[in-house]
Amino acid sequence: MSIFLLLAACGSPDSTVESKEENETSTNAQTDDEHRIVATTYAIVEFLDALDLNAVGVPTTYKDLPDKFADATEVGNAMDPDLETVLSLKPTEVLSVTNLQKDLEKPFTEHNVPVDFLDLDTVEGMFNEIEQLGETYDRSEQAKSIISEFNDKMDGVAEEVKDKESPKVLILMGVPGSYIVGTEHSYIGDLVKRAGGENAVKDREEDFISANTEYLQQLDADIILRAVHGAPDDVVEMFNEEFATNDIWKHFDAVKNNRVYDLEETLFGTTANLAVDEAIDELLTILYPEN
């Protein structure tokens, strides 16, 4: 789904309409001048784009950034932004995410960098943060439009899956060289829950836990989802080697029944993002292949 928040002109030659449009353009320009925003993750760049906001700094990423950010300065990887580059941009706000707060808060605060960590661990958290961004940057109407459209989607999904039997799902999040296990408190875990699935890992407060294959086998999952982060091709190769060489995986029911799926990173990131509707549609096809 694409969300278009461009202000549509009526095509009238009336001078009053033209004057109004000029005033709105002037107001938006003033707002962007007042706020020198540095977005450190791709998801946050998407939010700014949808809210018709600019940024002076953007993350270094292999993903294609919207054209409007072509002149923005790259500030490095989301997990380790270049502090010197960030400082050189004289930001009024730096936007990061809560799952990086433990590592990034100290260096930012030590250098008096105004930073806000957005809670994107769940779909609901994303809605709340988009609403707050709308209030902060005078984009409340745009924010309400985004949230309303997604809420309609979520309501439709809830109705679709309410009477379906819930498959048990094991979520593996891979990074180059290792992998961890996603609980229902992770973003993908939240998506699985919204799609009617049951997380195989229960009674854990963390977003992710360490992987222990003996423990994981005992969870008896119907489906294994393999998500990737960082270098997707390398992580998929790592997962393939792990499943081929570690003998224990052949004893998993999900492996026996050929129900192991690799998730596309552009849809299934580590945090909530504007691809949520496409991601949940993809999950529905995985969880309920008979549909």
What pTM was estimated for this model as a whole?
0.83
pLDDT confidence band for 291 (50 / 70 / 90): low
Q: Tally Cβ neighbours within 10 Å of residue 242.
A: 17
- Which tops the pLDDT comparison, 231 or 126? 126
- The first and second tokens of residue 268, run together, are 């299934």
pLDDT confidence band for 31 (50 / 70 / 90): very low
Q: What is the mean pLDDT of residues 134-146?
A: 97
Q: Residue 200 belongs to what H/E stretch?
A: none
**Three-state SS for 112?**
coil
pLDDT of residue 20: 38
- Which tops the pLDDT comparison, 92 or 204? 92
Burial 15-54 (b: 16+ CB within 10 A, else e): eeeeeeeeeeeeebeeebeebbbbbbbbbbbbbbbbbbbb
pLDDT of residue 248: 96
Is a pLDDT exceeding 50 seen at residue 23? no
Q: Where are the beta strands (DSSP E) in the chain?
A: 37-39, 57-58, 73-74, 93-97, 115-118, 168-175, 178-182, 198-199, 208-210, 223-228, 260-262
Domains present along the chain, CATH in parentheses: 16-122 (3.40.50.1980), 166-287 (3.40.50.1980)
